[in-house]
């Protein structure tokens, strides 16, 4: 889940500019960072720090890390060097057979300075280049290495950058006199809209004036330059204290933007999407994290309109799914690069299934794997926690369900959210009452269940509170044993679902402190009741999600947590 940047140019450019480009990829990991240029190596624990010096170079590699193998230390930060310090590499992915490779290299005299799997790469090439040229060494690398990788490598005395790809994302940006290698287009989309995406088992040799792509056997291949119809500008917090609250407050705007796109530039793809759904016998969603909760929401709505649908967690997809050439699989992913989802789609393709997708990042791997793809148009989301992207995922699914027959006023949603924002003081009051707890539970039934799961995930991610979102009907099958005097239970209670009232009473009778999120007007003014003034159950549940997002934010604020960059997490999960 790391972010990598490599830049090579005919003209000298500032190291500071390179680190600013790396900063755009920090959502991929921020345990440590580092960079290497002209024999200078800098790496340290923590977020990317933009240097103030005016150093110039014409070639650099940079890295921001999410730790997998080896702890969060300066030594484990990238780039990694060979013994002679002439080879420097940055790597995103996992080398599965690194221990075997490391043992072999150590026997030939190589000395390792880190605990990482990635350092093996630098020593591997140092050893191979004793007996062969770099192109042949890369061909050998593809044969010998098990796992996934996006690698950018620089060698002292060599005027090229070398880029190698299997499974982990990698793209070449093509400027007028500068080439950019990066984990995704965010790193350079302000500088050029011309790029080439690496496919699996490809590598490229990039000089300051040219590039050449090769397959894993070393044969030259011709790649088509894509012209991006999209650019990405650096986001700032404006007048907000955190990106999370800024992105929550953007939700009415991004919903309107999504709906407008579905009526205009995305209309053709939307119609194809609908045609495939209507003609299928069964839809299977695949997703992870918040996107999985969005897919649960979608399954509920699809069932309401007579579409046979199910959803499966991406990491267990092949263990529980049944597919054939009549199957339709819909992938949902904010980044479009989620490795577990990509692996599930490979499995589905091998079974002959048709692939559709819902993503936020254009030109991503999942979008390129899809027969038809829809974009949620949420814009860049900087905070690790999914807020506006989750909302636009469920709004898109609700819009599709509406076109399939669901009676819901989708276009009223943004106004309902604006009205909800006017009640933030009540949410802040509830946050002040519960921010010290260590455990809490969120109950939901029907369409409220995926919302309970999503709110629990936000609370875990950002507040560092153990939270469990669960079906109200499952409460009595074990979990109720954990309820004692003062246990906080948040209940999502649409008045259209009386069963959730009974589940709430069950925990209240055992001493739980209940926080009700409801559209039952009879509860207006009660303590610890968040009343949402909307009749429709689907819209009520989306608004309940936003209550949960705001509650999470204000609880985390009271606890003094690092809201936008919570510990141990990254936004784009590109490892299994």
Residues pairing with 203 in the sheet: 164, 214
- Residue 525 has a pLDDT of 54
Give the tens place of pLDDT for each residue, 288-305.
Answer: 999 999 999 999 999 999
Query: How many CB atoms lie under 10 A from the CB of residue 525?
Result: 7
The answer to whether the CB of 456 falls within 8 A of the CB of 491 is no
Give the tens place of pLDDT for each residue, 48-93.
Answer: 888 887 799 999 999 999 888 888 899 999 999 999 999 999 999 9
- CATH of range 3-227; options 3.30.450.20, 3.40.630.30, 1.20.1050.10, 3.60.20.10: 3.60.20.10
Phi (first) and psi of residue 188, to 5 degrees: -135, 5
CA distance 435 to 455: 15
The answer to whether the CB of 33 falls within 8 A of the CB of 18 is no
Average pLDDT of the residues in 442-446: 95
79: preceding bond cis by omega (within 30 degrees): yes
Given a cut of 60, whether residue 107 has pLDDT beyond it is yes
Say what the pTM is: 0.82
Residue 430 exposure: Cα atoms within 13 Å on the Cβ side? 25
Of 2, 195, 383, 463, the catalytic one is 2
Given a cut of 80, whether residue 501 has pLDDT beyond it is yes
- Beta strands 372-375 and 439-444: pairing type? unpaired
Cβ contacts of 419 within 8 Å, gap of 6 or more: 533
Residue 511 exposure: Cα atoms within 13 Å on the Cβ side? 7
Give the tens place of pLDDT for each residue, 125-141.
Answer: 999 999 999 999 999 99
Please tell me the class of the 237-418 domain. alpha beta
The answer to whether the CB of 89 falls within 8 A of the CB of 152 is yes
Question: Rounded to an integer, what is the distance from CA 154 to the centroid of its chain?
Answer: 28
* Residue whose token pair is 């699996």: 200
CATH 1.10.357.10 assigned to domain 423-576? The reply is no
Q: Is 476 a catalytic residue?
A: no
pLDDT confidence bin for 239, thresholds 50/70/90: confident
**Is 423-576 the same fold as 237-418?**
yes
Residue 494 exposure: Cα atoms within 13 Å on the Cβ side? 22
CA distance 217 to 137: 11
Of 422, 495, 571, 576, the catalytic one is 571
CA distance 398 to 376: 12
Question: Rounded to an integer, what is the distance from CA 65 to the centroid of its chain?
Answer: 15
Q: Is 571 a catalytic residue?
A: yes
Closest CA to 338 of 111, 539, 571: 571
Cβ contacts of 562 within 8 Å, gap of 6 or more: none
Sorted by where each begins, the domain ranges of the chain are 3-227, 237-418, 423-576
CA distance 516 to 507: 12
In which element (H, E) is residue 517 found? strand 513-518
Give the tens place of pLDDT for each residue, 319-339.
Answer: 999 999 999 999 999 989 888
- Residue 189 has a pLDDT of 87
């Amino acid at each position: 889940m790391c972010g990598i940047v490599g830049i090579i140019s005919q003209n000298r450019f500032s190291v500071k500019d390179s680190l600013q480009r790396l900063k755009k990829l920090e959502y991929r990991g921020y345990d440590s960072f580092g960079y290497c240029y002209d024999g200078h190596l800098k790496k340290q624990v923590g977020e990317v720090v933009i240097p103030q010096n005016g150093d110039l170079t014409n070639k650099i590699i940079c890295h921001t890390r999410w730790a997998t193998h080896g702890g969060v230390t300066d030594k484990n930060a990238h780039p990694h060097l060979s013994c002679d310090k002439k080879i420097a590499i940055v790597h995103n992915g996992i080398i599965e057979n690194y221990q075997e490779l490391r043992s072999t290299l150590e026997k030939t005299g190589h000395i390792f300075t880190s605990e990482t799997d990635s350092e093996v790469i630098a020593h591997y090439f140092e050893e191979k280049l004793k007996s062969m040229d770099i192109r042949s060494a890369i061909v050998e690398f593809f044969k010998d290495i098990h796992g996934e990788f996006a690698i950018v490598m620089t060698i002292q005395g060599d005027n090229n950058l070398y880029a190698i790809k299997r499974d982990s994302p990698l793209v070449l940006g093509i400027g007028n006199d500068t080439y950019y290698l990066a984990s995704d287009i965010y790193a350079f989309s302000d500088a050029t809209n011309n790029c080439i995406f690496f496919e699996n088992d490809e590598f490229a040799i990039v000089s300051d004036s040219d590039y050449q792509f090769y397959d894993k056997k070393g044969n030259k291949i011709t790649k088509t330059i894509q012209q991006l119809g999209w650019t990405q500008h650096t986001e700032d917090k404006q007048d907000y204290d955190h990106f999370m609250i800024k992105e929550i407050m953007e939700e009415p705007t991004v919903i309107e933007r999504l709906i407008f796109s579905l009526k205009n530039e995305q209309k053709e793809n939307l119609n194809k999407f609908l045609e495939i759904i209507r003609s299928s016998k069964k839809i299977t969603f695949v997703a992870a994290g918040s996107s999985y909760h969005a897919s649960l929401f979608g399954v509920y709505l699809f069932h309401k309109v007579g579409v046979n649908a199910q959803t499966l967690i991406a990491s267990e997809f092949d263990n529980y799914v049944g597919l054939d050439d009549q199957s339709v699989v819909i992938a949902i992913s904010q980044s479009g690069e989620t490795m577990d989802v990509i692996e599930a789609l490979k499995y589905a393709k091998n079974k002959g299934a048709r692939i559709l997708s819902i993503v936020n990042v254009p030109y991503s791997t999942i979008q390129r794997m899809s027969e038809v793809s829809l974009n949620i148009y949420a814009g860049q989301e900087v905070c690790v926690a999914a807020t506006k992207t989750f909302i636009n995922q469920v709004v898109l699914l609700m819009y599709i369900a509406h076109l399939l027959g669901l009676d819901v006023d989708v276009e009223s949603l943004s106004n309902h959210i604006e009205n909800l924002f006017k009640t933030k003081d009540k949410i802040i009051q509830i946050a002040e009452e519960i921010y010290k707890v260590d455990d809490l539970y969120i109950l939901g039934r029907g369409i409220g269940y995926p919302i309970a799961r999503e709110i629990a995930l936000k609370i875990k991610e950002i507040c560092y509170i153990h939270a469990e979102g669960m079906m109200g009907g499952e409460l009595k099958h074990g979990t109720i044993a954990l309820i004692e005097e003062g246990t906080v239970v948040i209940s999502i209670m649409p008045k259209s679902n009386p069963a959730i009232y009974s589940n709430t009473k069950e925990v209240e009778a055992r001493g739980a402190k209940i926080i009700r999120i409801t559209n039952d007007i009879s509860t207006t003014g009660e303590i610890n009741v968040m009343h949402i003034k909307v009749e429709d159950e689907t819209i009520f549940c989306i608004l309940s999600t936003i209550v949960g997002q705001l509650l999470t934010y204000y609880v985390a604020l009271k606890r003094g947590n690092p809201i936008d960059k919570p510990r141990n997490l990254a936004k784009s999960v590109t490892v299994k």
